Amino acid sequence: MGVQSYYIVIAAALLSSILHSSAEWARPTSLPQARQPANGPSGASTVSVQGVVEAQQTIPLTVAAHGWVRQIFFVEGEYVRKRQVLLRLYHNDLYSSNFNRQYLLAPQAGFVVRKNVEVGRHVSAGASVAYLQDVAQVKICLLLPPQLAQHLRVCDPVPVSIAELPARSFTGVVESIVTPSASGSRHRVTVLVRNSGSPLIRPRMHATVRLPAQPAPAMARR
């Protein structure tokens, strides 16, 4: 009797195991879901082009009247604000009460470069004593092959990074595309980047512009 009970228990255990295995095989398996790229298109859809940052324009700083340079209030490469006093002149022939005749003011904000004046030097009316780089916007000029330039349009936004500012990212705008007269020659493309306020980007920094390797969809341009 004890042997019969033993075999009955063994048979029940085997039957239970078979039924459990059948249920496992019958259960549908879940397939892994494909992940969508988190950062949009892959890097293969863009081309990185290097360029050098330039000031949008460079303005000569000229004195309104002749005189001797009495004081200089700037140094080479300094960033100055609009109407900041840069220079003081001394007139020995006639004392002038006109503030602008005695002082040279910055016409706008920017970096003072190419200083060519010293204290005690005589300057003539209209003489240039330095130059002011306007950096409210900076430009990056690129020479692109036709197959890359053809994907761009004026006002297209493009990502820009600056080697000297690795923690920052910027967005530039295509300002102009100059098509060469000779076929097969490179196109001159100018990209503008806003740099107002306390300017981070300075002329002669090294920029990388990421350009589309294929045309953007029509809806993306609107």
Statement to judge: residues 63 and 112 lie in one domain: yes
Residue 20 lies in a domain: no
Range of the domain at 77: 57-134
- Asked if 80 and 183 sit in the same domain, the reply is no
Spatial distance between the Cα atoms of 139 and 142, rounded to a whole number of angstroms = 10
The reply to whether 169 and 96 lie within a common domain is no
User: Same domain, yes or no, for 50 and 147?
Assistant: yes
**Looking at the 3D structure of the chain, how many domains does it have?**
2
pLDDT at residue 97 in the model: 55
Cα(128)–Cα(150) distance, integer angstroms: 42
- Residue type (1 letter), 18: I
Among the residue ranges 38-47, 76-85, 159-168, 182-191, the one predicted with the least confidence is 38-47
Last residue of a domain, one of 107, 134, 161: 134
Tokens at 58, concatenated: 């460079």
Where a domain ends, among 134, 163, 185? Answer: 134
Report the distance separating Cα 105 and Cα 51, nearest Å.
Answer: 33
Does 5 map to a domain? Answer: no
Other CB atoms within 10 A of residue 55 CB: 22
129 with 149, same domain: the answer is: no
- In this prediction, what percent of the chain has a pLDDT beyond 90? 61
Q: Are 81 and 186 members of one domain?
A: no
Phi-psi region of 110 (alpha: psi -120 to 50; beta: other; left: phi over 0): left
- Max distance between CA atoms of the chain, in angstroms, equals 138
Is the pLDDT at 183 greater than 60? The verdict is yes
Stated pTM of the model: 0.70
Domain end (from 134, 166, 196):
134
**Confidence label for 137 from pLDDT (cuts 50, 70 and 90):** very high
